[in-house]
Amino acid sequence: MAFYERQTKGFVNIDPLQTGGRLSEDAKRVLVEWGDGYSVCDFCTGSLFEIKTPPIRTFVSKLLPEFLGTEYSRITNGAREAKYAVMHALRGKGEEWIVMDGNAHYSSYVAAERAGYRIALVENSEYPEFRVTPERFAEVLDDVAKRGNVRLALITYPDGNYGNLPDVRKIARICESYDVPLLVNGAYAVGRMPVSLKELGGNFIVGSGHKSMASAGPVGVLGFNEDFADRITRKSERYRNKEIEFLGCTARGVAVMTLMASFDYVARRVKRWDEEVEKARWFSRKMEDLGMIQLGEKPHNHDLMFFEAPPLYEISKKAKDGRFFLYRELKKRRIHGIKPGLTRHFKLSTYGLTRDELRYVLDSFEEIINKYSG
């Protein structure tokens, strides 16, 4: 059947959503073995997090918290579900605020709405770096704390638009001074780069398996410490081994198996993060040689980068396919990841790609520019 075939198979993939979620060889192997619905529940004794065969219990109680730099962990159905679990667990009565960075992902915003918070955003520094600074975070927190009850703060590390890594350590200290717990959204960090909540500060850390941990999805991770353990793991009164915030059990199938199967691979690859940053910076310089402008932090500290592309935008004004010309040209060259219709601004990721693959992407951009300028 045609839909079994993935159109982008074998393409050079620079889609930030996809570069960190490509499966390890071990994860590919478990896909079929554990593909049946509730496969992990063969020997369940009542809770996903307690299953010993396969060793989910060891993963959740030992390996994952060590990796995240926390005392406890849970597996969720995605980063957003982890954020919502925390937001919901902390939500009290009456009007309560959450303060979050203006670069936050929509899923943070929507999770906060679902949990019934009023939301205050810490705006970024705007063009060209779009940074979220601790100073601005402190101002907003202070302002909202004077007017109302701030229950939680959230920082996106890094954000999904510019790949900026805000100073979480400072922001965590600021939140602590206001007695406001901090949730670190590391959907683009956990599994790509070394990240430890113990070192960063803050009270909760969230990751995304399908985005950054070489896993099938949907699956996410949550790390937290003793101080909030009772709230996060609160049990049902009637079903004593079912945790309410996780609706009893979360990723009860093949996704958790891919997460576990990729774990060694992921733990090894984060140690090579310096190489990834160096490669991203090299790519950024080469793009700028072609007339593009990398926005966000510079020099950049992450593989996710946002570019302004005047040469491509100019072409799009005259090209036959208008702003779809770039997508078409890249597709022809078997490059995937820039959304159809984008030319003026777009983001991409260099994560896990070889220099040869990236050189191919750069050469393709150059070729396309020359073709239309000739």
Ligand X SMILES: Cc1ncc(COP(=O)(O)O)c(C=O)c1O
Chain contacts with ligand X (rule: CB under 6 A): 17, 78-80, 105, 107, 156, 159-160, 185, 187-188, 208, 211, 220
Minimum distance, C-beta of residue 94 to ligand X, in the bound complex (Å): 28
210/329 with CB nearer ligand X: 210
CA dihedral 65, 47, 77, 117 (to 10 degrees): -80
122/369 with CB nearer ligand X: 122
Tell me the C-alpha distance between 112 and 105, whole Å.
11
Helix (H, G, I), strand (E, B) or coil at 183: strand
Minimum distance, C-beta of residue 72 to ligand X, in the bound complex (Å): 19
Helix (H, G, I), strand (E, B) or coil at 196: coil
For the record, the structure tokens of 281 come out as 């910076």
Based on its alpha-carbon atoms, the radius of gyration of the chain, rounded to whole angstroms, reads 22
Tell me the C-alpha distance between 186 and 155, whole Å.
9
82/249 with CB nearer ligand X: 82
Minimum distance, C-beta of residue 15 to ligand X, in the bound complex (Å): 11
311/352 with CB nearer ligand X: 352
Query: Which residue has its beta carbon closest to ligand X?
Result: 160
Minimum distance, C-beta of residue 156 to ligand X, in the bound complex (Å): 5
Minimum distance, C-beta of residue 186 to ligand X, in the bound complex (Å): 8
In this structure, the number of other CB atoms found within 10 A of the CB of residue 302 comes to 26
Minimum distance, C-beta of residue 319 to ligand X, in the bound complex (Å): 29
Annotated binding residues, as ranges? Answer: 79-80, 185, 208-210
Minimum distance, C-beta of residue 188 to ligand X, in the bound complex (Å): 5
Helix (H, G, I), strand (E, B) or coil at 54: coil
Annotated binding residues for pyridoxal 5'-phosphate, as ranges? Answer: 79-80, 185, 208-210
Minimum distance, C-beta of residue 177 to ligand X, in the bound complex (Å): 26
* Sequence-separated contacts (24+) of 299-302 with Cβ below 8 Å: 300/163, 301/158, 301/163, 301/164, 301/165, 301/277, 302/158, 302/163, 302/164, 302/165, 302/188, 302/193, 302/277
110/147 with CB nearer ligand X: 110
Burial grade of 37 (CB within 10 A; 0-12, 13-18, 19 or more): exposed
Tell me the C-alpha distance between 25 and 103, whole Å.
34
3-state secondary structure labels for all residues of 233-300? CCECCCCCCCEHHHCECCCCCHHHHHHHHCHHHHHHHHHHHHHHHHHHHHHHHHHHHCCCEEECCCCC
65/160 with CB nearer ligand X: 160
147/339 with CB nearer ligand X: 339
119/362 with CB nearer ligand X: 119
Tell me the C-alpha distance between 62 and 54, whole Å.
14
Confirm if 99 and 140 have CB atoms less than 8 A apart. yes
